[in-house]
Amino acid sequence: MKALKDEGVSNWQPRVAHAFSQWQCCMRQSLHLNQLLCSPLPEPQCARLYCGPLLHRLADEDIIKQLQKTLNGQKKEIYKNLKTILNLKPFLNHSKSTGEGSSSEEECQQLQKTEEEENLDQDLIINLGNLHIMESNLVIGDSALRNVQLKTPGTMIKCIPGAIAPDIEADLRLAKHRFQKIVIHVGSNDIQLQQFEDTKNSIASVCNFARTMSHAVAFSGPLPNETMLSLNRWLLEWCPENSVVFIDNWQTFSENPGLIEEDGIHPTLDGTALISRHLDEFLS
Per-10-residue mean pLDDT of the chain, 284 residues long, equals 66 80 89 87 77 76 75 80 70 52 51 52 50 68 92 90 92 86 94 89 95 94 90 95 95 86 87 94 92
Which residues are 246's β-sheet partners?
Answer: 219
Q: Where are the domains of the chain?
A: 134-283
From CA 184, how far away is CA 246, in angstroms rounded? 10
The one-letter amino acid code at 219 reads F
- The strand pair at 155-159 and 216-220 is best described as unpaired
User: Alpha helix locations (H) across 70-223?
Assistant: 73-86, 88-93, 104-111, 115-129, 165-173, 188-193, 196-211
* 141 phi/psi in degrees, rounded to 5: 175, -165
Which pLDDT does position 132 carry in this prediction? 43
Which pLDDT belongs to residue 214? Answer: 92
Looking at residue 2, its pLDDT comes to 66
pLDDT score at 202: 95
pLDDT at residue 123 in the model = 53
For 153-157, which contacts have Cβ atoms below 8 Å and span 24 or more sequence positions?
A: 153/74, 155/283
- Assign domain 134-283 to its CATH architecture: 3-Layer(aba) Sandwich (3.40)
**pLDDT score at 264:** 77
The per-residue pLDDT for 200 is 94
